[in-house]
Amino acid sequence: MAFSLAFLSPKPCTRLSRLLSAYVDGVLPNADRREVSVHIRECNRCKEQYEQLEQARSLVKRLPSRTPPAHLSARLQSLAAAESARRRAEMGKVNPVRFAWQAVQVRMENLMRPLAIPFAGGMVSAMVLFSMLVPTYPVAAARTVLEDVPTALYQEPTVKSVAPFAFADQEFLVEVTIDDQGQVIDYTLPQGTESEELKREIENTLLFARFTPALAFGQPTAGKVRLSFRRSFIDVKG
Amino acid sequence: MEQPAPADPVWLLDGLRNGDENAFEALVSRYQQPVYNLVYRLMEDPSDACDVVQEVFLKVFRNVGTFRGSSSLKTWIYRIAVNEAHNHRRWFQRHRKREIGLEAEEEGSRCYQDVLSDPGRSPFDLAVGTETRAMVEQALTEVSEVFRPAIILRDMEDMSYEEVAEILQVSIGTVKSRILRGREALRRTLTGRLEPETSVRFKPQVVE
């Protein structure tokens, strides 16, 4: 038996000796612990090692804890006092801001509270008055609506009336330029003519004709209108 | 360890956030001993421990507003302590500042001697000789600085593996391996020095 143990010992020893420290601390899982405790009963070398480890551990464990010297304790106590005061002061720094904000809030409230009822009362009475007065205003707007013109468009100038003069028998076109007052500025005959007679007739006609000026965006402006004269009636083209 | 009844953590945290002086003082009196002990054991030169501890508490006080409570206050403070000690050690290695300053006199009423003359000695002090204890402490300082925090947190501060993992910001597996290797190193150092006549027994195995 001794022979077989000596033969086997190197193998488990190297493995188990690594577990001895944890065994000493009692933190090995059950299976390992049992194996180690069986082994150190049988193997002197490991047993010795275990005992030495245990001894080393208990020697260190029972070393007296170093007591800090008196001057260090005193210094630490004064450090504690100073640092706690510093911390309090640091926290105090936050408070003034909050305090100032609260003061502002209180002042605003004091300022506003006397105003609140008059303000609300004034507001309500203004609304009542307004809602009472509005219906008494006749809707002046309604009348103007009828004469309204689209403002954003260009309105051609138009003929209001033409003098009832007779013309020569032929038919012809006149292009009349009208200023923003509704006055004739100029005219052209796109078909052209040589006849002085005709020109005079046209000028006479235009002299007594009345025009509405062109409108651009609601404002009167200059514009052109084309008149076509015929023998018996006048045709107006835009 | 032998701290007075722990203050209600919620009250403590609230007080710290609101700048309650009582809470600040309660924090100091509750944690100064373990933090000092931890920092002391982690430093190469323990006379710097006082400065570092002060830094730790300053950081705790200044940053408690940003502490979210995802970890416990205890592990948070220990984490700051471990980091501070680590940073200080690195800084110190870069600027080899060891001149004997005036500070050294005042500082180094040597925290060390203060403790040796500490009247409140544990039963262990009485049972085991002072030289044994000094030897253990010496052995502890020889453990690599990677493993030492894990050992101290686990064995001296009695933390669970999970807490150690949280403080050191590593996985539990890493904690396990660090404790294993640190303790192994400690064992080897101690076995060589501690009562060699009993520990190191080369007993020939006789095949019967």
Q: What per-residue confidence (pLDDT) applies to A144? A: 55
Q: What is the mean pLDDT of each run of 10 residues along chain B (208 residues)?
A: 53 83 88 89 82 90 81 88 87 62 43 44 56 81 86 88 90 89 86 58 58
Q: What per-residue confidence (pLDDT) applies to B123? A: 53
Max intra-chain CA distance, chain A: 160
- pLDDT band for position A104 (50/70/90)? very high
The alpha-carbon gap from B47 to the nearest alpha carbon of chain A, in Å, equals 11
From B54, which residue of chain A is nearest by alpha-carbon distance?
A76
**A10 in any annotated domain:** yes
**A218 in any annotated domain:** yes
**A35 in any annotated domain:** yes
Contacts across the A-B interface (CB distance below 8 Å): 157
Tell me what ipTM this predicted complex has. 0.70
Q: What per-residue confidence (pLDDT) applies to A122? A: 95
* Section A208-233 average pLDDT: 80
A235 compared with A5, residue with greater pLDDT: A235
- Encoding tokens for residue B187? 């064992």
- pLDDT band for position A214 (50/70/90)? confident
Q: What is the 3-state secondary structure (H, E, C) of chain A?
A: CHHHHHHHCHHHHHHHHCCHHHHHHCCCCHHHHHHHHHHHHHCHHHHHHHHHHHHHHHHHHCCCCCCCCHHHHHHHHHHHHHHHHHHHHHHHHHHHHHHHHHHHHHHHHHHHHHHHHHHHHHHHHHHHHHHHHHHHCCCCHHHHHHHCCCCCCEECCEEEECCCCCCCCCCEEEEEEECCCCCEEEEECCCCCCCHHHHHHHHHHHHHCEEECEEECCEEECEEEEEEECCCCEEEEC
Which one of A61, A84, A104 terminates a domain? Answer: A61
Total of domains in chain A: 2
Instruction: Mutate one of A21, A42, A55, A95 to test the B interface: name it (highest B CB count within 10 A).
Output: A21
Round to whole Å and give the CA distance between B168 and B80. 10
Contact B140, B186 (CB under 8 A): yes
**A155 in any annotated domain:** yes
State the average pLDDT for chain A.
Answer: 79
For residue A238, pLDDT beyond 80? no
Q: What per-residue confidence (pLDDT) applies to B124? A: 53
Out of 1.10.1740.10, 3.40.50.300, 3.30.70.870, 3.60.15.10, the CATH code matching B1-97+108-118 is 1.10.1740.10
Q: What per-residue confidence (pLDDT) applies to A129? A: 93
The alpha-carbon gap from A36 to the nearest alpha carbon of chain B, in Å, equals 15
A:37-96 residues touching chain B, CB 8 A cutoff: 44, 48-49, 52-53, 55-57, 59-73, 75-77, 79-81, 83-91
The alpha-carbon gap from A105 to the nearest alpha carbon of chain B, in Å, equals 27
Q: In angstroms, how far is the first alpha carbon of chain B from the final one?
A: 50
Q: What per-residue confidence (pLDDT) applies to A124? A: 96
Residues of A in contact with B54 (CB under 8 A): 72, 75-76, 79
From A64, which residue of chain B is nearest by alpha-carbon distance?
B122
| Number of alpha carbons in the 13 Å side-chain half-sphere of residue B30 | 16
Round to whole Å and give the CA distance between B14 and B23. 8
What does the domain layout of chain B look like in residue ranges? 1-97+108-118, 120-192
Residues of A in contact with B208 (CB under 8 A): 2
- A113-141, pLDDT tens digit by residue? 888 889 999 999 999 999 988 877 766 55
Q: What per-residue confidence (pLDDT) applies to B104? A: 40
Instruction: Tell me which of A92-106, A165-179, A202-216, B145-159 is least confident.
Output: A165-179
Round to whole Å and give the CA distance between A177 and A157. 9
- pLDDT band for position A112 (50/70/90)? confident
Which one of A40, A61, A82 terminates a domain? Answer: A61
Is any Cβ of chain A less than 8 angstroms from the Cβ of B187? yes
For residue A65, pLDDT beyond 50? yes
Nearest partner of A24 among B117, B39, B194, B184, judged by Cα: B184
Instruction: Mutate one of A5, A45, A53, A76 to test the B interface: name it (highest B CB count within 10 A).
Output: A76
Residues of A in contact with B155 (CB under 8 A): 57, 60-61
Instruction: Mutate one of A66, A73, A87, A91 to test the B interface: name it (highest B CB count within 10 A).
Output: A66
Which one of A61, A80, A107 terminates a domain? Answer: A61
For residue A91, pLDDT beyond 70? yes
* Section A48-77 average pLDDT: 85
- A141-196, pLDDT tens digit by residue? 555 555 666 666 777 888 888 766 666 556 778 888 888 888 888 888 877 777 78
Q: What per-residue confidence (pLDDT) applies to B88? A: 86
- Encoding tokens for residue B119? 């009247």
* Domain extent at residue A17: 2-61
Q: What does CATH list as the number for B120-192? A: 1.10.10.10
Contact B72, B9 (CB under 8 A): yes
